[in-house]
Amino acid sequence: MSKSAFQELLANTRRLTVLTGAGVSAESGIPTFRGAGGLWRTYQATELSSPQTWNRDPGLLWEFYNYWRGSMRDKKPNPAHYALAEIEKRFRKDNRLFHLITQNIDDLHLEAGSQSVTRMHGSLWLLRCCQCSLVTKNQDIPITPAFEGSGSPDPKAKQSKFSKEDLPKCYCGGILRPHVVWFGESLALEDMEKSHEASRECDLFLVVGTSALVYPAAGLSTIAKRSGAKVVVVNLEPTATDEVSDFNFPGKAGEILPDLLMVN
């Protein structure tokens, strides 16, 4: 598929669904802590962001998230985020349907102006009460005064000890955790349903900044494809065109999307 063939397809699309992954965040300089080198101190992020670590040492987990949130402070949406926000605006204006599904937890799509968004893996800026399940927005850095200056990713950093009193608390007195889907946890049912519906009902499914071959992108791409949508991938690593995707534009999303979507 050439760029102009894609643009013709886009012009005739009644319902566009976009799925974004870590590559889009990486272009804004966000540490993703996934894959090779995804270490914080000597911990694998997979091992840290888990219910097991939370149950064993919630202070350690908050130290890691406190660092992660802090490292977001100076990060801004990139041209890929803005291009997706702009194409949504144009679709709305034409009474066409648009939905964005993201695996990223940094909320940069919202900051760029995207409106119809499913955050499959939650958000770094939402907290959930372990007692009453209330979800609240929270952008405090440090998360509580006790975490001031803590969280250095240096493997030689001294690990602080945090007590229950140091952890963020809900109005009900329960302890607050990041509202993020950790490894080994399931996605929220309503997010899963919305993602499935958006994948099933679209006629163009655009995968950005993630391989269409890896879960959960693979599952949603397959749903879209089987329902008759064209599946197009924009990702650094070229994806083989196969039963999951129809075409790919290899490269950086921030460089490709504005031009491809004709919003520059």
Contact residue for Zn ion among 18, 87, 129, 204 (CB under 5 A): 129
Pick the closer one to Zn ion by CB: 121 or 177. 177
Structural contact between residues 70 and 77, judged by C-beta atoms closer than 8 angstroms: no
Q: How far is the CB of 204 from Zn ion (least distance, A)?
A: 41
Which residue in the block uniquely carries the two structure tokens 């309503």?
190
* 174: contact with Zn ion by CB under 5 A: yes
Stretch that binds Zn ion, among 39-47, 130-138, 198-206, 254-262 (CB under 5 A): 130-138
Kindly state the smallest distance separating residue 120's Cβ from Zn ion, in Å: 24
109 counts as catalytic: no
**Side chain identity at 159, as an amino acid letter?**
Q
Measured from the CB atom, is 134 or 240 closer to Zn ion? 134
> Which neighbouring-strand residues pair with 250?
235
92 — phi, psi (to 5°)? Answer: -60, -45
Binding part of the chain for Zn ion, among 55-63, 144-152, 162-170, 202-210 by CB under 5 A, reads: 162-170
Which range, of 18-26, 128-136, 160-168, 211-219, touches Zn ion by CB under 5 A?
Answer: 128-136
Q: For residue 214, state whether it binds Zn ion (rule: CB under 5 A).
A: no
Q: What's the order of all strands across the beta sheet hosting 230-235? A: 117-119, 97-102, 15-20, 204-208, 230-235, 247-250
- Does the footprint of Zn ion cover residue 135 (CB under 5 A)? no
Beta bridge partners of 128: 135, 177
* CB of 247 closer than 8 Å to CB of 234: no
The two three-digit tokens of residue 73, written as one number: 């402070």
Catalytic residues: 121
- By the criterion CB under 5 A, which residues form the site for Zn ion? 129, 131-132, 134, 170, 172, 174
